[in-house]
């Protein structure tokens, strides 16, 4: 499986933000990966190293995302730069319990599926327990 496919598969392109819009609005794999790194942080090195031989298409020297050098346009670069980090995105939209929500989302949005919080544990998370 190609790296972009395996990484992008963890977070559907139709992942919605609070306004009902797709969080990562792009159809380009490299731009999508850059958007994910902008919001969620860097893709773990061990995942890049374990990726298929197609990793060179998206990563320089098999280490870091080929961004912005590999961008298809200046508009693509600007679209990525406009995205806030996850913590800032939450703080813009939530005035209470932001810390608990950030913690929950960080657990759900880990790049490595084996490190993500399970649905069962997510339902027990402080953020959701505060609402019941």
The DSSP result for 68-109, as a single string, is: TTT-S-HHHHHHHHTPPPHHHHHHHH-SSSHHHHHHHHHHHT
How far is it, in rounded angstroms, from Cα 26 to Cα 13?
Answer: 8
pLDDT (tens digit per residue) in 50-67: 887 778 889 988 889 999
pLDDT (tens digit per residue) in 109-122: 999 999 999 999 99
Amino acid 20: pLDDT? 59
């Amino acid at each position: 499986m190609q790296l972009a496919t395996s990484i992008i598969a963890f977070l559907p392109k139709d992942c919605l933000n609070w306004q009902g819009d797709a969080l990562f609005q792009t159809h380009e794999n490299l731009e999508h990966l850059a958007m994910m790194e902008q919001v969620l942080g860097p893709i773990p090195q061990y995942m890049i190293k374990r990726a298929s031989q197609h990793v060179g298409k998206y990563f320089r020297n098999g280490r870091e995302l080929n961004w912005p050098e590999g961008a298809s346009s200046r508009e693509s670069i600007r679209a990525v730069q406009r995205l806030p980090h996850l913590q800032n995105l939450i703080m813009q939209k939530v005035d209470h319990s932001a810390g608990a929500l950030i913690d929950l989302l960080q657990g759900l949005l880990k790049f490595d599926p084996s490190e993500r919080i399970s649905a069962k544990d997510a339902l027990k998370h402080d953020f959701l327990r505060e609402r019941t």
